């Protein structure tokens, strides 16, 4: 304004202030920068590149979250916020500032709106008064939910890869979900953590011999960040660095305690990569793990339109994976694709299924479950557990509701969490491309043949029962016109 309009600095300041008060331009207030400056910009003007120039210090929490909100369409799912803010998520392990307190501070400053509940998942949304470009709608939220679910599913295979490489100890890895020992590691959120026993990296009170490692040793922690649904950015790496730096507990009491930070990415911005290397973060790309062809197939999975699933597209994706010869290394992702196949069956019978929905116990929000497919109407909720396994495997009954991948876990634990969370009548349906053990079948038959279940199932063409195995699916797919690709996928890729 000074240069173009030939006016003084003070006159330009007065003019900007008037335009701001009139709503003709927007401001970053209350977020201020290094010398208390404010950023002014026009409505609908992209400020991402400008923010990268004036916010170099992502070590500052507010700067980092501000940047993340702007770059991620004006909203972050709570798990994303926990990572970027680097706030404590388990107060029993750390006395540092919690993610909730950081959020409350931002809400008080009117940087963010009150937490938004989307399908049982909390979402942090930028306040429109300072970021008018936020794009928050149901389609965007469903896509982000799908992307984060994809990332977590793929992380299962990446952890197995670390264990096969012997970098992580066998069966020592934990993904941060309802099955984790705790939420993250030592009070902070990490997508996963594991332990390494590699020579020179483990913990021990003994001195290693020149040619032989110590016999008495404990694993050093590997903390893992996973950004697979988009390009990793500087605010991601800074949030990861801050969490690693703030880990407390026994680390400060052990002189030889080592932490190995690993970040799995699909791709990463140049400045973020340089920062990670400078700080000693190990960056591992999907291409380095699986190769180019598999990654192309994985990107196809990520781009599936969850609102309109095309079985032909699923066939092509599975064929790409199969052609690489590495489909055994990404078994969980094949199972994830199978979820979409089952979802398309619900669609064909007039349902509107949601894929990947999380529920929390209202009495204790640390107790939660994720349902593979959910169908909701005014009175009922159908929750569906889906297992895309080889036909030789069998789903077990389970000794208790806490046993992973068991019938009891779904029909008792998940069922109770969803029922308490929603207050609706809940009907659990278990579908697998494999089969059930005899014990599981006895249990399922008893539930299926109850009077309540039969009354409920009478109203539907699908589901007609509470469980479906491979034989049941083949029977459904006998309609050659409707289910040609479904039948091919079941026989060719899950045999």
pLDDT of 100 over the 90 cut: yes
* Most confidently predicted of 39-43, 64-68, 249-253, 443-447: 443-447
Do 385 and 468 belong to one domain? yes
What pLDDT, on the 0 to 100 scale, is given for residue 180? Answer: 47
Q: Range of 102's domain?
A: 19-135
The region, left, alpha or beta by phi > 0 then psi within -120 to 50, assigned to residue 42 is beta
Contact 399, 409 (CB under 8 A): no
Does any domain span residue 115? yes
- Residue 345 in any domain: the answer is yes
From CA 490, how far away is CA 190, in angstroms rounded? 35
Same-domain status, 180 and 90: no
How many other CB atoms sit within 10 Å of the CB of residue 176? Answer: 23
C-alpha to C-alpha distance for 444 and 22, rounded to whole angstroms? 65
Q: Is residue 195 located within the same domain as residue 245?
A: yes
Q: Is residue 309 part of a domain?
A: no
With CA atoms as reference, report the closest residue to 289 among 108, 164, 384. 164
Q: Residue 397: is its pLDDT beyond 60?
A: yes
**How does DSSP classify residue 41?**
E
Same structural domain, 66 and 198 = no
CATH number at residue 256: 3.40.1350.10
Same domain, residue pair 451 and 337: yes
pLDDT of 3 strictly over 90:
no
Helix, strand, coil % over all residues of the chain, rounded to 5: 40, 20, 35
Asked if the structure places residue 180 within a domain, the reply is yes
Q: Which residues pair with 123 in a beta bridge?
A: 77, 116
What DSSP character marks residue 466? S
Q: Which of 296, 317, 351 is the last residue of a domain?
A: 296
Q: Higher pLDDT residue, 167 or 132?
A: 167
Top-confidence residue, 410 or 482: 410
Q: Which residue has the higher pLDDT, 166 or 43?
A: 166
Judge contact between 74 and 136, C-beta under 8 A: yes
Region 103-129: mean pLDDT is 89
Statement: residue 344 has pLDDT above 70 = yes
Which of 348, 325, 321, 324 shows the shortest CA–CA distance to 334?
A: 321
Last residue of a domain, one of 275, 296, 317: 296
Percent pLDDT > 70 in the chain is: 91
Tens of pLDDT along 446-463?
A: 999 999 999 999 988 899
Contacting residues for 84 by C-beta, under 8 A, at least 6 apart: 64, 65, 68, 76, 235, 236, 239
Number of domains in the chain: 3
Higher per-residue pLDDT: 29 or 234: 234
Q: Look up tokens 């299962």; give the residue.
A: 156
Alpha-carbon span 166 to 153, nearest angstrom: 21
Residues 37 and 86 in one domain: yes
Dihedral of the CA atoms 472, 475, 477, 480 (nearest 10)? 180
Asked if the model's pLDDT at residue 416 lies above 80, the reply is yes
Q: Are residues 458 and 375 in the same domain?
A: yes
Backbone angles phi, psi at 279, to 5 degrees: -95, 5
Q: What pLDDT does residue 51 have?
A: 63
Q: Is residue 237 part of a domain?
A: yes
Q: Are residues 106 and 222 in the same domain?
A: no
Residue at a domain's end among 135, 152, 183: 135
pLDDT at 452: 93
Higher pLDDT, 142 or 190: 190
pLDDT score at 125? 95
pLDDT category of residue 107 using cuts at 50, 70 and 90: very high
Contact 157, 97 (CB under 8 A): no
- The answer on 189 and 171 residing in a single domain is yes
CB 263 within 8 A of CB 284: yes
How sure is the predictor about 192, in pLDDT bands with cuts at 50, 70 and 90?
A: very high
**Average confidence score pLDDT of the chain:** 86
For the cut 50, the answer to whether the pLDDT of residue 178 exceeds it is no
How confident is the model over 463-487, as pLDDT tens digits? 999 999 999 999 999 977 889 999 9
Tokens of 353: 């299924």
- Identify whether residues 115 and 170 lie together within a single domain: no
Q: Once rounded to an integer, what is the mean pLDDT over residues 368-395?
A: 91
Same domain, 151 and 94: no
Strand-pair category, 121-125 with 75-77: antiparallel
Phi-psi category of 363—alpha, beta or left, where left has phi over 0 and alpha has psi -120 to 50?
alpha
CB-side neighbour CA atoms (13 Å) of 315: 13
The per-residue pLDDT for range 265-310, each reduced to its tens digit, is: 999 999 999 999 999 999 999 999 988 888 888 888 888 887 788 9
Q: Do 117 and 175 belong to one domain? A: no
Task: Name the 3-class secondary structure at 253.
Answer: helix
Residue 250 has pLDDT above 70, yes or no: no
């Amino acid at each position: 304004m000074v240069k173009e309009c030939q006016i003084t600095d003070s006159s330009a300041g007065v003019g900007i202030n008037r335009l701001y008060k009139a709503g003709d331009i927007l401001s970053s207030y209350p977020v201020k920068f290094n010398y208390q400056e404010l950023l002014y910009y026009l409505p609908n003007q992209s400020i991402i590149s400008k923010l990268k120039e004036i916010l170099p210090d992502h070590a500052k929490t507010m700067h980092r979250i501000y940047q993340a909100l702007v770059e991620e369409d004006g909203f972050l799912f709570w798990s994303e916020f926990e990572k970027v803010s680097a706030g404590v998520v388990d107060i029993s392990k750390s006395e540092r500032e919690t993610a909730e307190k950081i959020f409350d501070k931002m809400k008080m400053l009117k940087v963010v709106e009150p937490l938004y509940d989307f399908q049982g998942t909390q979402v942090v949304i930028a306040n429109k008064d300072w970021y008018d470009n936020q794009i928050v709608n149901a389609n965007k939220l469903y896509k982000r939910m799908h992307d984060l679910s994809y990332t977590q599913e793929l992380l299962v295979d990446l952890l197995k890869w670390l264990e096969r490489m012997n970098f992580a100890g066998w069966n020592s890895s934990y993904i941060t979900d309802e099955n984790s020992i705790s939420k993250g590691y030592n009070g902070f959120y990490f997508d996963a953590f594991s332990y390494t026993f590699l020579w020179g990296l483990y913990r021990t009170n003994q001195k290693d011999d020149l040619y032989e490692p110590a016999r008495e040793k404990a694993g050093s922690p590997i903390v893992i960040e996973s950004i697979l649904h988009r390009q990793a950015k500087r605010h991601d790496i800074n949030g990861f660095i801050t969490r690693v730096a703030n880990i407390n507990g026994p680390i400060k009491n052990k002189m030889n305690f080592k932490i190995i930070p690993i970040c799995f990415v699909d791709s990463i911005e140049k400045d973020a990569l340089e920062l990670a290397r400078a700080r000693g973060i190990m960056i591992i790309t999907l291409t380095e793990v699986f190769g180019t062809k598999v990654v192309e197939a994985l990107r196809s999975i990520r781009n599936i339109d969850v609102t309109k699933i095309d079985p032909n597209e699923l066939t092509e994706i599975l064929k790409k994976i199969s052609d690489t010869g590495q489909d055994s290394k990404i078994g969980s992702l094949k199972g994830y694709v199978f979820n979409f196949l089952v979802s398309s069956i619900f669609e064909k019978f007039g349902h509107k299924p949601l894929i990947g929905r999380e529920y929390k116990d209202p009495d204790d929000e640390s107790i939660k479950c994720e349902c593979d497919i959910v169908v909701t109407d005014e009175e009922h909720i159908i929750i569906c557990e889906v297992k895309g396994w080889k036909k030789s495997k069998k789903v077990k009954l389970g000794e208790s509701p806490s046993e992973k991948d068991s019938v009891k876990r779904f029909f008792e634990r998940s069922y109770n969490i969803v029922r308490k969370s929603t207050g609706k009548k809940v009907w659990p349906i278990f579908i697998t491309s494999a089969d059930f053990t005899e014990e599981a079948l006895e249990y399922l038959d008893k539930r299926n043949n109850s009077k309540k279940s039969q009354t409920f199932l009478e109203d539907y063409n699908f589901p007609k029962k509470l469980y479906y195995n491979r034989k049941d699916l083949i029977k459904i797919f006998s309609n050659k016109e409707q289910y040609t690709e479904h039948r091919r996928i079941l026989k060719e890729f899950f045999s």
